[in-house]
Every structure is written in C-alpha cells, then in structure tokens.
Amino acid sequence: MHAVGPKSVDIDADVDADGDEAREYVENVRLLSEGSVRRSFDPYTDIDWDNPEFAVEANEEGWILPAASDVMARHPWYQGLPTEKKIAIGKYRTANMCKVALQNECVLISGMAVFNFGLPVGSPEFEYCTHEMIEEHNHNLMFAELIKRIGPAEPGPMWLRRGRTAGALAAALAPNLFFMIVQVVEDVPDCMQKMILRAGDQVHPLLRNVISIHVAEESRHISFTREFLKKNVPPKNPLSKFVLSMAFPLIIRMSSRVLLLPSMRFYRKFDVPKDVQRQMYGTPEAAQYLSEFFTDSRTLAHEIGLMNPVAKALWKMLRIDGGRSRFRSEPLRRAR
Ligand SMILES: [Fe+2]
Ligand SMILES: [Fe+2]
C-alpha cells in the first residue's frame, strides 16, 4: 500500500478491476521503459562539443531564429534587423529558452521524485518515471553546456522561480494535476523544437544536435504523460473532473507566456518597440498563431472528458480555443 499517489497507480489492483484496458496501460508503460533502456543519450558522448563545425562562431548565421518556429522571428521587425543583431538576438533568445526548459525540467524532476516516493517497487510507473528523471537530468546538463557557449541567460521568469516547489507539491497532493502541468510544459516546447528542426541546414549544427536528442526522448515522455492522464483522470468523480477541466486551460494560459514569448528584460535589452511587443501577442492574429501550439492539449482535453461547456467557455475566454489534431504534432504542419 503506498502513501502518496493516486489510488489507481496500484497496478495489480487495477489490472484486476479494469481488465484489458489496465493491462494495455501497464504494457505500454513497460514498453516505454524498455525504450529508455535500449536508447538513451549522454550529453557528453553523444554530442561532439569540440567539433570545429559545432563552434558557436562557425556558421554564425545559424543562430538566426527560423521564422516558422518563433513568435518574434516571424515579425517583420526582427526580419528587418541587420544580420549581426539578428544573430545576437537569436543566441540570447535560444539561451533563455534553454534556461526556461532547464528550470521546467527541475520542477518536473522534483515532482516525479515525490510521485515515485510512495510507489511499490516493481510498479511500471516507478520504473518509467525513474528513467524519465535520469533523461531529464541529462537534458539539463546538455542545456547547461549550450548556455555556457551562447549565453548569458536570464535568471528565469519570476513566477517560475517563486513557484519552483509547485511540481513537488502538486505531485504529492494531486498527481493528475501534476501530470497535467507536465503535459503542457513538455508538449509546447516539443512543438516549437520540431519546427526548428524543420528549418534544417539553416539552423546551427550544434543547436540541431541538441534539439534532435531532446525531441527523440521527449516523445517517450509525452507518450507516458498522455497514457497516465487517460487512465487516471477519474471518469466517475464529477467534482474532481470539473476542477481539472478548469485547471487545464488555466495552466496553459499561465505557461504560454514564458514558453512562447520573450521576457520584458529581453524587450528592454534589444529596444523592441511597444507596438511590436503588442503585435507579438496582443492581436487576434497573434492569439490565433499561439493557440496552434495547444492543439494537442485541446485534443487531449476532449479525449479525457475535460471539455464540458464551462471549460469550453474558459478556453475561449483565455483565447486558447481552436481545433483538434487528428494525430500528435499535427499543429506543427498547420503553423508552418
Ligand atoms: Fe527534457
Ligand atoms: Fe521530458
């Protein structure tokens, strides 16, 4: 009997109670663990940091932000800047995106450690989450190496620094809520990073290498979170379900600014005009573009029964409503 975590993570009991569905869930989680054992990356041996082609100064234009992947890079203000300034902004923004990613990984790892604390030894979730934490630690070493080369990076968003214990707290008290946060902070950067990869040779080879490794491992992480939420969002507890249906769009709205938009410090540092700042997120077109990043989350909300009429209205009010995807990562194609 475990003290922390949802009742439904008692795998043996679940298999007895839910039959085929629970068995399929256990099998899928074990397959993800096997994937981690078979293929995982090392930040020092899988990236040739000393390769002259990976030097930051080699192919400097590779640091210019690809228009498809970044809310600022697609703005005519950025596109009209001199090449050196575009490179400087590209390096600064990339370093800061890595810093936010690193801090998000810390929140995720702390929550998973708490979640794992009470799980029975041998539980597929314990094993998978342990693999995932190891991979996230390696991602952080990789992000840190990249920041050391292209930085400096800002200290990170204020609310993220103040809320750094939120992951552990949510994992202890409400694991479904915790994995909902995980879903958002993994899915949105994943979508963005895939867009960067699609820019191909235009992107600096060092960044391409780092992102390729990250995207490959995040795919497993996102699969696990989706499996977990599909299984554990309670189908028979209307109050809990309603609370989660309200929490989901709120988490997305709160995270979207730090995940997708430059910071106020950035705007000041590079003298970004006020009207350009507003156009990046304050116009209906900008809202429409940003909402594309949440298509997979909206689809998941429908799939796990969290899109009731009140939730729908909230998604709309927060300007993150829109269509659903037919399969994961489809928004990538539309935004492109
Ligand atoms: Fe990661
Ligand atoms: Fe991850």
Ligand 2 geometric centre to CA of 270 (Å): 31
Question: Is the Cβ–Cβ distance between 319 and 257 less than 8 Å?
Answer: no
Determine the Cα–Cα distance for residues 293 and 7; give it in Å rounded to an integer: 32
Ligand 1 geometric centre to CA of 154 (Å): 19
Q: What is the tens place of the pLDDT at every residue in 92-106?
A: 999 999 999 999 999
Ligand 2 geometric centre to CA of 281 (Å): 26
Ligand 1 geometric centre to CA of 179 (Å): 14
pLDDT at 2: 35
Ligand 2 geometric centre to CA of 84 (Å): 33
Q: Torsion angle, CA of 117/121/126/131, rounded to 10 degrees?
A: 110
To 10 degrees, what angle do helices 205-232 and 295-303 make? 20
Which of the ligands is closest to the CA of residue 213?
A: 1
Q: How far is CA 52 from the centre of its chain?
A: 31
Question: Is the Cβ–Cβ distance between 5 and 119 less than 8 Å?
Answer: yes
Single-letter code of the amino acid located at 99: K
Ligand 2 geometric centre to CA of 291 (Å): 21
Ligand 1 geometric centre to CA of 143 (Å): 9
Mean pLDDT lowest among 30-44, 120-134, 247-261: 247-261
Q: Torsion angle, CA of 281/170/103/195, rounded to 10 degrees?
A: -50
Structure tokens at 31: 């397959």
* Model confidence, pTM: 0.90
- Beta-carbon contacts of 51 under 8 Å, excluding residues fewer than 6 positions away, are none
Which has more pLDDT, 234 or 2?
A: 234
Ligand 1 geometric centre to CA of 220 (Å): 10
Ligand 1 geometric centre to CA of 22 (Å): 27
User: Over the range 122-136, which residues count as b (16 or more CB within 10 Å of their CB) and which as e?
Assistant: ebbbbbbbbbbbebb
Q: What is the tens place of the pLDDT at every residue in 214-269?
A: 999 999 999 999 999 999 997 778 999 999 999 999 999 999 888 899 999 999 99
- Beta-carbon contacts of 143 under 8 Å, excluding residues fewer than 6 positions away, are 98, 99, 101, 102, 105, 210
Alpha-carbon Rg for the chain, nearest whole angstrom, is 20
Ligand 1 geometric centre to CA of 3 (Å): 28
Q: What is the tens place of the pLDDT at every residue in 271-297?
A: 999 999 998 888 888 888 889 899 999
As a whole number, mean pLDDT of residues 74-79 equals 93
